[in-house]
Amino acid sequence: MGRTVLVVGGGGREHALTIGLLESPSVSAVHVAPGNAGTAIIATNHDVSAGDVDGQVALAQSIGADLVVVGPEAPLVAGLSDVLRSIGIPSFGPHAAGAMLEGSKDFAKKVMLDLNIPTAGVQHLTNATDLDEAVDRWGAPWVVKRDVLAGGKGVVVTENREEALDFILESIETDGMVLLEEFLEGEEASMLVMMDESGFVALPCSQDHKRVGEGDVGLNTGGMGAYAPAPVATEEVRNRAIREIVEPMHVHLSTQESPYRGCLYVGLMIDSTGAPSVVEYNVRFGDPETQVTVPLISSDLCDLLLAVAEGRLESSMPTFSTNHALTVVLAADGYPGPPVKGRPITGDLSDGIGSNGRAFIHHAGTGISDGQLVSTGGRVLAVTGIASSLADARELAYRKLSDVQLEGAHFRRDIGHKAL
Ligand code: AMP
Ligand code: GLY
């Protein structure tokens, strides 16, 4: 009998994890809660929301889960992994104390400063006095961050002083405080690190596209597309990031009373000299980074995630393929503002196979209404190409995307532009 796995969440990341787990020889069944229309086709969906800790625990028990893989941060911050471990169910994803690295940007900064990990300087603003002095300290561009979980949307980066001041005042009013960060120059990359007390391994680095518009303009989003491996993270940059950023954090986390077991997502800024610093930590897989990273793991994904959940990663290191992957997010009308939902998604959503690789759909905000596939969220789906070169992966993804129709939807035509 193979393993039974529960995947918590319902986005493109969770669809990618579900596909990877079903391709694992050690897995016989995958359940997803709540899942989406894509996971419903290949696995068993359950109507339990990701943030419902009691509901997820009861579900894991009722299906006899051998492993729970937690996709989003909210249930981790709420302690889902703590509860699962206390009843003997292995959970991939850190305990609530570890999840604070994402749950509070303020807390994460303090840990980085204590450990001497390179990151942007920060000022904590709690009232409206002396704001001029604060915003003049580093000058433009201004990076203002609310210290709340906001799905990548609680951050404003702007050259406009008035806009920065308005967001600072608004945030102080709603949250009682806000962070003003030093602006870091450079190119971003995402490093997903599998980590437990026995060791860590960095997966191939990827690059997300956070702004809504082509050429990296417009509002921040959860991510409009990604590709991997990202050439900006050269061998030298990766080694330096591991030495200066990952190792000290691993020493810190593995010596806590209860160890960190899960993915540590390191958002890197790499300057023109190749020096990496931390933009942010997340305590989960990235979305859409997972869609381009999981397909590059050639060993059994479940073996890897279960080993991390049980604290024995060192004895179960993964292997990787030499392929390239690129994914393009199709977003709903209105996104990253309030999206229009419930519109029909039509066209040919079947896998595309070319002589140079393949392309397929990662569902995200999709559901079925009256037998029709419809949009249910902001990021509706992502089209992912896999090939032996990045250019081929890109061509396959965009060709497949042209088969899909959703009224008012938008996507970026320049995913991968920095590498191509
Ligand atoms: P965060 O949610 O902290 O990852 O911020 C969202 C995005 O804002 C990042 O992916 C960056 O593109 C940008 N950003 C955040 N902090 C900085 C910074 N200190 N310097 C430059 N850009 C930043
Ligand atoms: N794509 C960015 C994130 O997952 O936070």
Do 195 and 306 lie in a common domain? yes
Do 356 and 390 lie in a common domain? yes
| pLDDT > 80? residue 149 | no
Q: Which residues, 6 or more positions from 362, have their beta carbon under 8 angstroms from its beta carbon?
A: 12, 15, 16, 19, 38, 288, 291, 327, 381, 382, 383, 384
Q: Is 113 part of any domain? A: no
The model's confidence at residue 316, banded by pLDDT at 50, 70 and 90, is: very high
Q: Which residues, 6 or more positions from 399, have their beta carbon under 8 angstroms from its beta carbon?
A: 352, 354, 359
Q: Is 295 part of any domain? A: yes
Work out the average pLDDT over 203-226. 95
Do 161 and 242 lie in a common domain? no
Encoding tokens for residue 153? 């949307």
Q: Is 385 part of any domain? A: yes
The proportion of the chain whose per-residue pLDDT surpasses 90, expressed as a percent, equals 95
Range of the domain at 247: 185-315
**How much is the pLDDT for 151?**
61
**How much is the pLDDT for 152?**
60
pLDDT-wise least confident of 79-93, 190-204, 211-225: 211-225
List, for residues 252-278, the tens digit of each pLDDT value: 999 888 999 999 999 999 999 999 999
The model's confidence at residue 382, banded by pLDDT at 50, 70 and 90, is: very high
Helix (H) or strand (E) holding 87: none
CB-side neighbour CA atoms (13 Å) of 278: 30
Do 83 and 147 lie in a common domain? no
Q: Is 103 part of any domain? A: no
Work out the average pLDDT over 350-375. 96
* Residue nearest atom 3 in ligand 1 by C-alpha distance: 280
- Ligand with an atom nearest the CA of residue 265: 2
The response to whether residue 152 sits with its C-beta less than 6 Å from ligand 2 reads: yes
Q: Is 420 part of any domain? A: no
* Summary mean pLDDT of the chain: 96
* Residue nearest atom 5 in ligand 2 by C-alpha distance: 286
127: domain CATH number is 3.30.1490.20
List, for residues 337-351, the tens digit of each pLDDT value: 999 999 999 999 999
**How much is the pLDDT for 153?**
63
**How much is the pLDDT for 154?**
85
In the reported structure, the alpha carbon of residue 289 is separated from the centroid of ligand 2 by a whole-number distance in angstroms of: 7
209: domain CATH number is 3.30.470.20
Q: Which one is predicted more confidently, 392 or 130?
A: 392
Query: How many distinct structural domains can be found in the chain?
Result: 4
Candidates 265, 285, 362: which one to mutate for ligand 2, based on the most atoms within 8 Å of Cβ? 265
Q: Is 354 part of any domain? A: yes
In the reported structure, the alpha carbon of residue 267 is separated from the centroid of ligand 1 by a whole-number distance in angstroms of: 9
From residue 298, alpha-carbon distances to 200, 279, 304, 305 in Å are: 17, 29, 11, 13
pLDDT-wise least confident of 171-175, 273-277, 319-323: 171-175
Do 75 and 139 lie in a common domain? no
Q: Ligand 1 site: residues with CB under 6 angstroms?
A: 120, 143, 145, 152, 155, 157, 181-184, 188, 210, 220, 267, 279-280
Do 190 and 168 lie in a common domain? no
Do 175 and 79 lie in a common domain? no
Whole-prediction pTM: 0.96
Do 349 and 309 lie in a common domain? no
The model's confidence at residue 367, banded by pLDDT at 50, 70 and 90, is: very high
Given the CA of residue 119, which atom of ligand 1 is nearest to it?
19
The model's confidence at residue 1, banded by pLDDT at 50, 70 and 90, is: confident
Question: Which residues in 221-232 are b (16+ Cβ under 10 Å) and which e?
Answer: bbbbbbbbbbeb
| pLDDT > 90? residue 219 | no
Q: How far is 215 from 154, CA to CA, in rounded Å?
A: 21
Q: Is 216 part of any domain? A: yes
In the reported structure, the alpha carbon of residue 35 is separated from the centroid of ligand 2 by a whole-number distance in angstroms of: 18
Q: Which one is predicted more confidently, 365 or 219?
A: 365
